[in-house]
Every structure is written in C-alpha cells, then in structure tokens.
Amino acid sequence: MCGTYVRTRSQELLDATVQHVGITAASVAIGLLLAFPLALLARHRPVFAGPVLGLTTVLYTVPSLAMFALLMPVFGISASVVVTGLVLYSLTVLVRNILTGLEAVPEEAREAARGMGYGPWRLLFGVELPLALPALMAGARIATVSAVSLTTVGAIVGYGGLGNLIYEGMGSNFKAQVLTASVLCVVLAVLADVLLLGLQRLLTPWAPGRRRAAGRSRLRPVRIRPVRAG
C-alpha cells in the first residue's frame, strides 16, 4: 500500500467508489423488482416454475465478458450495460430464494389468515412475505456481494467503478493502485453484507435464532442452598 497514492488520488478513489456503489445498488434493486413477480409466477403457476428457474440458471452460466458484449449493441457503451448484466445474474439467486421463502411459510399461518378474512394480496404482503423475509434477505446478501465483485468487469466498457482503477493499474503495472482498489472492493463487499445482515435482524426480530438468544440472555443461574435438618 502507498500512502502517498491514497492522499494524492483520494478524489479519484472516491469517484470510483461512488460509481461502484451506485451500479451495485441499482442492479440489486432492479433485480429484486424483477425477481419478485417471477417467483410469484413460478409459485402460483407450477407450469412456469421450470422455465423460469431454468432460464435464470442459463443466464448465470453466461461469462460476464460475453454477457456485456451481447448487451453493448442494445445499450451502447454505457453504465446500462453493466447494470443490466448484473440484474440478469442476480435473478438466479433472488428468484430461488424468494420462491423458497414463500414455499416455507406454514400452511397453518395461511389458513389462520384466511379465517380472519385476509384476501390474496393482504395474505401475501401481511403474512407470507414477512415470514419469507429471512430467505429473501439471504438472497439479497448473496446477490449484493456478487454484484460488488462483478462490477469490476464493467471496466471493459469504462463503467467498472473500482474495476477501472484495477484495469488501468494492471496495464501500467501500478501495483499501489491495483492493491488499493482491490482492498476497497473487499471492504465494500464486507460492509454491504454486514449492513444487510443488520437490516435482516431489524426486520425479523421474531426469527428463531434471535428468540433463542434472547431467551438465553434472560436466564440466570439459580443457586440452591442445602437445608439443614433440625
């Protein structure tokens, strides 16, 4: 690491980091918006489950360089190429996790909600989706960390965030730049994972693991004193 490089190129590092975070956040957000209706379609229409899961799996197997090359004729050389590619990659994880979470909702909870007069949409957003949040958030965490890593490949079209600095540093053998940008990528991935984990715990205080931890924290050892006869 070179302290002089970090001091003199701090604005460049900041701009690259902001671009990296923006591309990652946009791709995960759009991925969630697309994955949710696809998961609902696969759940309520089993005939579509195979094609939906199969298509998202096939998209995930396409190499990132090939994916960006295929998207460039459509979007040109722009950040949309990188965001669209990351959205397509995220669908594999997000659709499967959302579908798994919805299918894991106990049927007793659904029957109780219907007995209370819940309609299909109120049942979905008031009962099923809250209970599926742990699986949904787990998918979001995986998709976000993957997006942080794959964004660097966007350097081939000039929109790779910190990947631009890594690409330029490798071309000029500027090791300080390569190492600094790489470390920042790792830091971003760890921070994103920790923040999403904290959000998951905030949104699901009823989760089994947290209930057990809370129960243990309230337990106190009881000392039993022997009683002497007479």
pLDDT of residue 169: 85
Residue 53 corresponds to which tokens in the numbers above? 């899961």
* pLDDT > 80? residue 41: yes
Contact 122, 110 (CB under 8 A): no
CA distance 61 to 53: 13
Lookup result for tokens 């071309």: 171
Among 1, 51, 32, smallest CA distance to 178 is for: 1
Question: Backbone dihedral region of 102: left (phi > 0), alpha (psi from -120 to 50 degrees) or beta?
Answer: alpha
Average pLDDT, the chain: 85
CA distance 120 to 140: 25
CA distance 160 to 168: 11
Q: How confident is the model at residue 222 (pLDDT cuts 50, 70, 90)?
A: very low
- The string of pLDDT tens digits covering residues 125-160 is 888 888 889 889 999 999 999 999 999 988 888 888
Structural domains of the chain, ranges and CATH numbers in brackets: 3-211 (1.10.3720.10)
pLDDT of residue 9: 79
**Helix spans in the chain (H):** 3-8, 10-44, 46-61, 64-75, 79-103, 107-115, 120-123, 129-150, 162-172, 175-203, 208-218
